[in-house]
Structure 1
Amino acid sequence: MTVTLIAAAAENNALGKDNQMIWHLPDDFKRFKQLTSGHYVIMGRKTFDSLPGMLPNRTHVIITRQKDYTAENCIVVNSLEEALKVCPQDEEVFIIGGGEIYKQSMAVADKIELTRVHGTSPEADAFFPEIDPSEWILEQAIHHPKDEKHKFDFTFETFVTK
């Protein structure tokens, strides 16, 4: 199994505020869809609740401490360890948030697909964990300047474990 964290985070690692993303980057959404389609996506309950609905062509695995939580057409578990066990062991699975789930997942991740949004967000209340350069190698970086559809410059960064 390859465990990949996928996120969009500002230079100060800000992910979102009040369970919502801070920016709207259509090319980031396209990349997210392209990379995660056909795969299992693991997320915390708050992240699932923030989605506009089911993400098409993906199997949703929701981690929650709530013992009686149910979500139609989703797999509900109570820990990251359980989430990883219910996923196919010979495929890439994606951790899609939120901040607490990313933090728990860093130790088991093989890859990080990060959209680094250039700028900071002081009002954020959820953050991506620090990427330790002694444990991760930046394998690829593709810069995307701001334009009429994107209010921020950003870079698609792919990290792999050393």
Structure 2
Amino acid sequence: MITMIAAAAENNALGKDNDLVWHLPDDFKRFKTLTTGHHIIMGRKTWESFPRPLPKRTHLVITRNKDYKAEGAIVVHAMEDALAFAKDDSNAFIIGGGEIYTIGLNFATHIELTRVHGEFEADAFFPEIDPAIWELQESVFHEADDKHKHAFTYETWKRR
């Protein structure tokens, strides 16, 4: 399996200035649970947004820069290279950003999307999910509460 995992607003906003525009602790926990023990594939800007590598995951960073170094990660130069490196993983995860998701949409078999209810100003966006290609398998709504300023829905999509 190749799974894209993201949190995106109703207008597909992912983030602004290389950061998220919301704080959803339960979504962070879900991300950790799903991705731990797996390869996580990301672009350079996503990698650089981390304070340090995420524990118990193999980090694959895609960049066009042939001289780029990323301590704690494996640097590759195309999605195909990242997927070849992760070929023995039962479920490799594509974790962003916007350009990597757009490329990854052609390779993914599943999407784990946290749909944040609201529209946000952003400079990075998740691609549109085409219902002719993707089928919604599960949808679980979460109300806004004292830890979550915004309501959200976990959506699991599978390629048809």
Structure 1-normalised TM-score?
A: 0.97
Q: Does 1:149 align with 2:131?
A: no
Instruction: Provide the residue aligned with 2:23 in structure 1.
Output: 24
Deviations 1:47-90 (A, max 9, x none): 00001211000000000111111112211001111111111335
Structural mapping, 1:37-52, within 5 Å: 37-52=36-51
**Aligned-CA RMSD value:** 0.8
Deviating beyond 3 angstroms after TM superposition, the runs of 4 or more aligned structure 1 residues are none
Instruction: Provide the residue aligned with 2:124 in structure 1.
Output: 126
Q: Tell me, in whole angstroms, the C-alpha distance in 2 between the residues paired with 1:145 and 1:58.
A: 30
Structural mapping, 1:50-69, within 5 Å: 50-69=49-68
**Partner letter of residue 31 of structure 1?**
R
Identity across matched positions, percent: 61
**Partner letter of residue 61 of structure 1?**
L
Q: Tell me, in whole angstroms, the C-alpha distance in 2 between the residues paired with 1:161 and 1:71.
A: 32
Instruction: Provide the residue aligned with 1:15 in structure 2.
Output: 14
- Structure 1: any 5+ residue segments left out of the alignment? none
Q: Tell me, in whole angstroms, the C-alpha distance in 2 between the residues paired with 1:139 and 1:19.
A: 30
- Structure 2: any 5+ residue segments left out of the alignment? none
Q: Tell me, in whole angstroms, the C-alpha distance in 2 between the residues paired with 1:134 and 1:20.
A: 31
**Partner letter of residue 103 of structure 2?**
Q
Matched residue SS, 1:53: coil
Matched residue SS, 1:138: strand
